[in-house]
Amino acid sequence: MFILILFLSLFAYLSSRKISWGIYLILLFLPAYQIRFSMFNIPMTLLESMILVLFCVFLIRERFLLDRKGKGVSQYALTFPVLLFLLSATVAVILSPDLRAALGQWKAYFIEPILFFWVFIKTIRTEKNIRGVFITLGILSFYLALYGLLQYAFSWIPAPWNQGDLRITSFYPYPNALSLVVTPILGAYLVLFARNIPLFSSFFLDRFWKITVLAFTSAALFLSGSDGGALALMAGMCSLGAFILMREKNRFSKNYFLFIPALIVFLVFAGARISVDPSTDVRHKLWIGSWKMIADHPIEGFGLGGFSRNYEKYKLPEHTEILLYPHQLFFNFWIEMGLLGMVSFILLVVFFCVFCWPSIRAEKSPFILPVFIMMLVLLAHGMVDVAYFKNDLAVLFWVVYGLGMTSKT
C-alpha cells in the first residue's frame, strides 16, 4: 500500500504541473486495471485511482468543469448524448441481478472513463497535445507488442494459449484483450504513415518511429491470432483506401507504394487464418442465444452483469461455453443496458460522425482522419468481440471520442 500511495502521490504531482502529463501517463498505464486493491472496502484498480486523482487535480486547478466558451467544442452537442448514455447505465444498475457488481461496472466502465473524457477535451486542445496523445498511444502499443514478441521468442506464453497454435497475450490474460487495444492504434498509425502526418519535427525520427510501431504492432496482432482484430483492420484500411480514391485521384503519394503492398500481404495472411477459424461457428451460436435474450426483454434488457447470469436459459444446447458478454457490441449494450442503452450508444457514434465528417471532407486538421479510422476499427472489432465493457477499452473509446471532438478544429 505504501508503494501505491507513493506512486499516486508522484502522479498527482506530475499532473498538477501539467494536466496533459497526467493524461499521457494514464494512457501508458491502461493495462494497470489488472492491479486491484480495496480502499475503504471499495474495490479499486490502479487505473481507476489514477483517473480519480487526475480529475481531482483538474478540479482544483481549474475550479470548474464546464468551460462556457466551449473553445471549439459544442457543450450541448457533447452533453446530451453523454448524459443519455450515463442515464441508461444508471437504469441498468437498478435492473441488475447483482447490485454490488453492477455498481462496480457502473463506476469503472462509465463514470470514471467519462470523467477522464471531460478532462481530456478540456486539456487536449492543440496540435501539439494531439501529437502527444498519438505518440503516447504508439508507446503503449509498442511496449505491449514488444513484450508479446518476447513471450513468443522465449516461450513465456501463459496457459492455455501456449498449446497448439501459440497466441501471445503480452501483459493481458488472453490474446483478444491485446488485440482490442492495439488494433485501433495500428489503424491510426497506418493512416499517419500513409498520409505523411508528422508526429516529430525530425523527418528521420518521425519515419523511424512510425515504422517501428507499425512493424511491432502488426507482428503482435498476427501472433495474437485475433481474427476480430484482422477483420477490423481490414474495415479500417478499406475505408482509408476508399477515401484515397475519392480525394487523391491525381496526387498519389509515394507512401502508398509502401503501404498498399504491405496491406495486401497482411490481408492475405489474415484472410487465410479467418477462413479456418472455428470461433466463427461458436460466435454464431452465441449470437443466436443472445438474440433470444433480446427478444425476451427488448426494452429493459437484463441490467449490468445480466448477460452472464441469464444466458444459460437462452443458449443453444450445443453451445456449452458460458461467457460474460455476447461478443457483439450492440448486443452488449442492448442486453446489459436495454434499448435506451443501445440507442444512446448509437447516438454517441452518430454525433461523432456528424462532428468529424465535415472536417474530414474539408481536411481542416491532419489528425481527424486517423481518429475517424481509429473509431471505425474499434467499432468493427466490436462486431465480433467485447470492445467496451472492460476498464482499458472504455477509456480508449472515450479517448478516441475526445480526439474526434478536439481534432476537428
Same domain, 269 and 154: yes
Q: Can you tell me the distance from the alpha carbon of 153 to that of 144, in angstroms, rounded to the nearest whole number?
A: 14
Domain that holds residue 88: 80-125+278-409
Answer for the pair 165, 277: CB distance below 8 angstroms, yes or no: no
For residue 131, being part of any structural domain is answered with no
Domain end position, chosen among 274, 307, 333: 274
pTM of the predicted model as reported, rounded to 2 decimal places: 0.90
Domain end position, chosen among 226, 251, 274: 274
Same domain, 255 and 290: no
For residue 132, being part of any structural domain is answered with no
Instruction: Name which residue leads in pLDDT, 294 or 70.
Output: 294
H/E run at residue 100 = helix 99-105
Cis peptide before 160 (omega within 30 of 0): yes
Same domain, 325 and 350: yes
- How many distinct structural domains can be found in the chain? 3
Angle between helices 391-407 and 46-62 (to 10 degrees): 40
What is the per-residue pLDDT across 245-261, written as a single tens digit (0 to 9) for each? Answer: 666 654 545 555 555 56
Same domain, 218 and 293: no
Q: For 278-304, what is the mean pLDDT? A: 85
Per-residue confidence (pLDDT) for residue 33, from 0 to 100: 96
What is the per-residue pLDDT across 25-82, written as a single tens digit (0 to 9) for each? Answer: 999 999 999 999 988 888 999 999 999 999 999 998 876 544 444 444 545 456 788 9
Domain end position, chosen among 241, 274, 307: 274
Q: Can you tell me the distance from the alpha carbon of 303 to that of 103, in angstroms, rounded to the nearest whole number?
A: 11
Answer for the pair 32, 45: CB distance below 8 angstroms, yes or no: yes
For residue 92, being part of any structural domain is answered with yes
Answer for the pair 374, 400: CB distance below 8 angstroms, yes or no: yes
Highest mean pLDDT, choosing among 86-100, 131-145, 272-286, 312-326:
131-145
Same domain, 156 and 236: yes
Q: Which of 88, 224, 183 is nearest to 375 (CA)?
A: 183
Same domain, 200 and 118: no
Q: Can you tell me the distance from the alpha carbon of 287 to that of 282, in angstroms, rounded to the nearest whole number?
A: 9
C-alpha cell at 146: 514488444
Mean pLDDT of the chain: 86
Lowest mean pLDDT, pick from 60-64, 175-179, 385-389, 391-395? 60-64
Same domain, 402 and 322: yes
Q: Can you tell me the distance from the alpha carbon of 88 to that of 303, in angstroms, rounded to the nearest whole number?
A: 10
Answer for the pair 223, 156: CB distance below 8 angstroms, yes or no: no
Query: Do strands 42-45 and 36-39 pair parallel, antiparallel, or not at all (unpaired)?
Result: antiparallel
Same domain, 149 and 270: yes
Per-residue confidence (pLDDT) for residue 70, from 0 to 100: 45
Per-residue confidence (pLDDT) for residue 80, from 0 to 100: 85
Alpha helix segments (H runs only) across 318-367: 329-362
Same domain, 350 and 290: yes
Q: For 349-360, what is the mean pLDDT? A: 87
What is the per-residue pLDDT across 216-242, written as a single tens digit (0 to 9) for each? Answer: 999 999 999 888 898 889 888 887 777
Q: Can you tell me the distance from the alpha carbon of 4 to that of 39, in angstroms, rounded to the nearest whole number?
A: 11
Same domain, 98 and 194: no
Per-residue confidence (pLDDT) for residue 321, from 0 to 100: 63
For 105-131, the three-class secondary structure string (H helix, E strand, C coil) is HHHHHHHHHHHHHHHHHHHCCCHHHHH
For residue 75, being part of any structural domain is answered with no
Portion of the chain with pLDDT greater than 90, in percent: 61
Same domain, 354 and 380: yes
Same domain, 149 and 221: yes
What is the per-residue pLDDT across 295-328, written as a single tens digit (0 to 9) for each? Answer: 999 999 999 989 988 888 888 776 566 677 888 8
DSSP 179-230: HHHHHHHHHHHHHHHHTT--SSSSHHHHHHHHHHHHHHHHHHHHHHT-HHHH
2: confidence class by pLDDT, cuts 50, 70, 90: confident
Q: Is the pLDDT of residue 173 over 90?
A: yes
Alpha helix segments (H runs only) across 225-328: 227-247, 255-275, 279-296, 306-310
Q: Can you tell me the distance from the alpha carbon of 47 to that of 53, in angstroms, rounded to the nearest whole number?
A: 10
Q: Can you tell me the distance from the alpha carbon of 340 to that of 347, in angstroms, rounded to the nearest whole number?
A: 10
Beta strands per DSSP E along 15-146: 36-39, 42-45
